[in-house]
Amino acid sequence: MTLIKSDAELYSLVCDGLKLSAEDTRTIEELGNTLPSHVQPEGLFASPPRYWQNLKEEFRLLVCTNDSKYASLRRQLRTKGNKSQAVIVSIISAAMAHTVGVAAGILVPFCALCLLAFARVGKEAFCKTASFDVPAHQGTCVPLPHRQSVQRPLGRKEAAGNGCRKR
């Protein structure tokens, strides 16, 4: 199963999702440890939630084992392997959101970080290490192209209002 096509596209997902500047030199582990502040931006924690550690554990189950928990996700990734990195990362984020306890949208850049770590250190090292102390940055953050929303023509009822009568 080939999950990684473009290191640069993965890094762009991280930059876009975490609003990183071009000068950011934090490691993958340091960026991952910011996950609680993205879940609760104003949260003060006596001890931060283990969201990042939980995500890494789940990600290892996906790529390092044949655990049945992620069998359907592995099948889905095999069939979607020709899609963009954004699609692949979104599929993984959606599958892991409930277990990690974080909304899928928030997990997207953090799943991209896991894939970056996987790409940078290789499968063997990824599956054996607890900390991803490798640089996340790769030159500059290149913005992702955002799709333009397409406006569909309004139907007769929609154009006239929401269809509710005033009493």
pLDDT at residue 159, rounded to an integer? 44
Residue 62 lies in a domain: yes
Residue 106 lies in a domain: yes
Tokens of 161: 């209002």
Contact present, 144 and 85 (Cβ < 8 Å) = no
- The reported pTM is 0.79
Dist. CA 49–CA 67, nearest whole Å: 25
- Other beta carbons within 10 angstroms of residue 68's beta carbon come to 9
pLDDT at residue 150, rounded to an integer? 36
Tokens of 1: 């199963």
pLDDT at residue 163, rounded to an integer? 43
Report the greatest alpha carbon distance in the chain: 69
Say how many CA atoms lie within 13 Å of 124 toward its Cβ.
Answer: 0
Residue 140 lies in a domain: yes
Residue in the block written with tokens 């069939």 = 79
pLDDT at residue 153, rounded to an integer? 43
Angle at 37 between CA 27 and CA 92, to 5 degrees: 70
Contact present, 35 and 29 (Cβ < 8 Å) = no
Q: Can you give the residue range of the structural domain that contains 110?
A: 7-38+49-144
pLDDT at residue 42, rounded to an integer? 81
pLDDT at residue 98, rounded to an integer? 93
Give the pLDDT of the chain (167 residues) as one tens digit per residue: 556 667 788 888 899 999 998 788 999 999 999 999 999 888 777 888 999 999 999 999 999 999 999 999 999 988 887 778 888 999 999 999 999 999 999 999 999 999 999 988 888 999 998 888 888 876 666 655 554 433 334 444 444 444 444 44
pLDDT at residue 74, rounded to an integer? 92
Residue 104 lies in a domain: yes
Q: Where are the alpha helices (DSSP H) in the chain?
A: 7-18, 28-32, 35-39, 51-64, 71-79, 85-100, 104-121, 123-128, 156-160
Dist. CA 91–CA 108, nearest whole Å: 9
Angle at 115 between CA 112 and CA 120, to 5 degrees: 125
Residue 158 lies in a domain: no
Residue 97 lies in a domain: yes
Structurally, how many domains does the chain consist of? Answer: 1
pLDDT at residue 58, rounded to an integer? 95
pLDDT at residue 161, rounded to an integer? 46
- Other beta carbons within 10 angstroms of residue 25's beta carbon come to 10
Residue 163 lies in a domain: no
Tokens of 114: 């896991």
Residue 92 lies in a domain: yes
pLDDT at residue 160, rounded to an integer? 46
